[in-house]
């Protein structure tokens, strides 16, 4: 059945419906293949010419423009990258100097603080020593004055006590003359003590 | 499928292992007029020739249209293709003056490449470069260009240096000159055209015969017209056709490259004479 269809198609073309363009001899074999068909040659010339003009006038300029633009873009990109790098480097140097300065400053502050502390400590110690000395002196003075006061008190009490005792002992056994004598002497003695 | 049917119309699978038309011409001539524009017949082949031109333009146009600074894959491939022809063929072979011939070589490469790719394009399956019109026209164009360039560059000494080559012993000059003359002016365009043409013809014959035989064998087996053993041969032809298909991919690229490369080499021998 399939073969029928093929045969019909072949018959149709052989009978000239639709019409073949040229009536070349079928016995030509493969040699006909080496001869160009006129309409194909013309089509080839036209098609290739169009392609050639397109490539020449549009495609190659477009390619060149694209590549040039890319080259420029890459160059600009590299330049800006270089610039950014330099900037970053200078920033880094800045920061490094700043950090170094800050470290120095910190060390200075610490040492200053230590010095200040030392001086405060010395001050305090000196003041404390002075105060202690003053306290000691005052205490000594107080002790001295107290001793004096106590001594005088004691003297007075001894005198009073002596008189009392003397009165009690002597009483009536002593006449008025000897009593006066004794008292006077005693008073003299007391005066000697004083 | 028309061409397959035409090619194998009278195939008797009980007698032949491979279906082939009585005349190989039947595989290549589709001169049935599809439409006629202002007296110019548009056959299938003519249509394909124009299609190849349009595709070549579209391929380049859509590749370079955006001119993106950061190109996509497609733009990059087209740029790669174009810079390859420029750097490796035009400037690479001819030298700095080769940039003048770059548009021609580029158009040549892309046009032949697409014409060749039609051989393995589904539903087309017909390389326009297997029609002598295309290789012949292009090789004659190359011939005109390199002869013209030779005369323009070297004046009449271009011709006399070929006929009476300097640096060759006097008694050999006539012989060498004769050989050089024939090889440069007669053999070159012919060999250039035939190399491309014959490669694509061979590939097309192999592919169409194997694929159509496979198709007919398998359909005939399925409809019970032939036995299963014969039908299975169809699958073998099919597998073989696929292997050849892969091979043809290489041929397609290589022949487009060789045609362009040799055109550049011929122009180079005219422009930079040192022999």
Whether A57 is covered by a domain: the verdict is: yes
Q: Are B52 and B59 in contact (CB under 8 A)?
A: no
Range of the domain at A104: 43-151
- pLDDT surpasses 60 at B142: yes
Which DSSP symbol is given to B41?
Answer: E
Whether A187 is covered by a domain: the verdict is: no
- Please report residues of A whose CB lies closer than 8 A to that of B106: 55, 59-60
Q: B72-131 pLDDT, tens per residue?
A: 899 999 999 999 999 999 999 999 999 999 999 999 999 999 999 999 998 888 999 999
Q: Is A28 on the interface with B (CB under 8 A)?
A: yes
Whether A125 is covered by a domain: the verdict is: yes
Mean pLDDT, all residues of chain A: 81
Mean pLDDT, all residues of chain B: 87
Whether A74 is covered by a domain: the verdict is: yes
Provide mean pLDDT across the span A54-73: 93
Range in A7-16, A135-144, A157-166, B17-26 with the lowest mean pLDDT: A7-16
pLDDT at B10: 56
What are the b/e assignments for B26-41, b being 16+ CB within 10 Å?
Answer: bbbbbbbbeeeeeeeb
Whether A158 is covered by a domain: the verdict is: no
Query: Half-sphere exposure of B38 toward its Cβ, with a 13 Å CA cutoff?
Result: 0
Backbone angles phi, psi at B163, to 5 degrees: -75, -35
The structure tokens listed for A142 are 């107080």
Provide mean pLDDT across the span B251-275: 90
Number of folded domains that form chain A: 1
- What ipTM does the predicted assembly reach? 0.89
CB contacts < 8 A (A, B): 166
Measured between CB atoms, which of B60, B65, B138 is closest to A48? Answer: B138
Whether A133 is covered by a domain: the verdict is: yes
Q: Is A134 on the interface with B (CB under 8 A)?
A: no
Residue ranges of domains in chain B: 2-271
Whether A136 is covered by a domain: the verdict is: yes
CB contact under 8 A, A39 and B40: yes
- pLDDT surpasses 50 at A19: no
Whether A131 is covered by a domain: the verdict is: yes
Which residue in chain B has the smallest CA separation from A9? B6
Ramachandran assignment for B12, one of left (phi > 0), alpha (psi -120 to 50 degrees), beta (any other): beta
Measured between CB atoms, which of A33, A51, A65 is closest to B132? Answer: A33
Confidence at A127, pLDDT banded by 50, 70, 90 = very high
pLDDT at A181: 80
Q: Are B43 and B51 in contact (CB under 8 A)?
A: no
pLDDT at B172: 85
Confidence at A177, pLDDT banded by 50, 70, 90 = confident
Chain A: nearest CA to B92, how far in angstroms? Answer: 17
Residue tagged 């610490």 (tokens) = A110
Q: Are B44 and B59 in contact (CB under 8 A)?
A: no
Listed residue (B78, B129, B160) closest to B254, CA to CA: B129
Which residue in chain B has the smallest CA separation from A12? B6
């Amino acid at each position: 059945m399939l073969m029928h269809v093929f045969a019909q198609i072949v018959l149709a073309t052989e009978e000239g419906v639709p019409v073949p363009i040229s009536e070349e001899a079928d016995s030509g074999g493969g040699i006909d293949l080496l001869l160009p068909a006129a309409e194909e040659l013309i089509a080839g010339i036209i098609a290739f010419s169009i392609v050639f003009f397109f490539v020449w006038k549009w495609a190659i300029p477009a390619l060149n423009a694209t590549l040039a633009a890319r080259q420029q873009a890459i160059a600009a990109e590299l330049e800006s990258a270089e610039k950014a790098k330099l900037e970053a480097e200078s920033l880094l140097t800045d920061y490094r100097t700043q950090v170094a300065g800050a470290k120095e400053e910190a060390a200075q502050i610490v040492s200053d603080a230590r010095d200040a502390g030392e001086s405060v400590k010395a001050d305090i110690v000196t003041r404390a020593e002075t105060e202690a000395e003053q306290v000691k002196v005052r205490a000594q003075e107080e002790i001295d004055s107290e001793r004096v006061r106590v001594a005088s008190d004691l003297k007075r009490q001894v005198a009073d006590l002596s008189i009392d005792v003397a009165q009690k002992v002597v009483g009536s056994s002593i006449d008025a003359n000897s009593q006066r004598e004794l008292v006077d002497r005693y008073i003299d003695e007391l005066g000697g003590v004083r | 499928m028309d061409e397959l049917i035409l090619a194998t119309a009278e195939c008797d699978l009980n007698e032949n292992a491979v279906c082939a038309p009585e005349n190989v011409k039947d595989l290549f001539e589709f001169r049935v007029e599809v439409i006629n524009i202002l007296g110019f017949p548009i056959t299938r082949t003519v249509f394909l020739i124009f299609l190849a031109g349009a595709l070549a333009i579209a391929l380049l146009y859509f590749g370079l249209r955006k001119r993106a600074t950061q190109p996509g894959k497609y733009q990059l491939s087209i740029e790669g293709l174009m810079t390859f022809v420029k750097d490796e063929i035009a400037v690479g072979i001819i030298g700095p003056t080769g940039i003048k011939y770059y548009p021609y070589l580029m158009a040549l490469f892309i046009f032949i490449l697409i014409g060749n790719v039609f051989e393995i394009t589904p539903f087309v399956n017909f390389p326009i470069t297997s029609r002598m019109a295309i290789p012949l026209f292009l090789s004659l164009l190359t011939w005109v260009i390199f002869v013209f360039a030779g005369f323009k560059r070297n004046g009449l000494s271009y011709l006399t240096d070929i006929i009476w080559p300097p640096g060759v012993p006097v008694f050999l000059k006539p012989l060498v000159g004769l050989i050089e003359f024939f090889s440069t002016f007669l053999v070159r365009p012919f060999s250039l055209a035939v190399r491309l043409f014959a490669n694509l013809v061979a590939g097309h014959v192999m592919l169409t015969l194997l694929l159509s035989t496979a198709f007919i064998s398998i359909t005939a087996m399925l409809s019970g017209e032939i036995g299963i053993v014969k039908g299975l041969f169809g699958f073998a032809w099919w597998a073989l056709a696929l292997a050849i298909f892969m091979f043809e991919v290489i041929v397609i690229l290589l022949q487009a490259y060789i045609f362009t490369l040799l055109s550049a080499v011929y122009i180079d021998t005219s422009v930079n004479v040192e022999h």
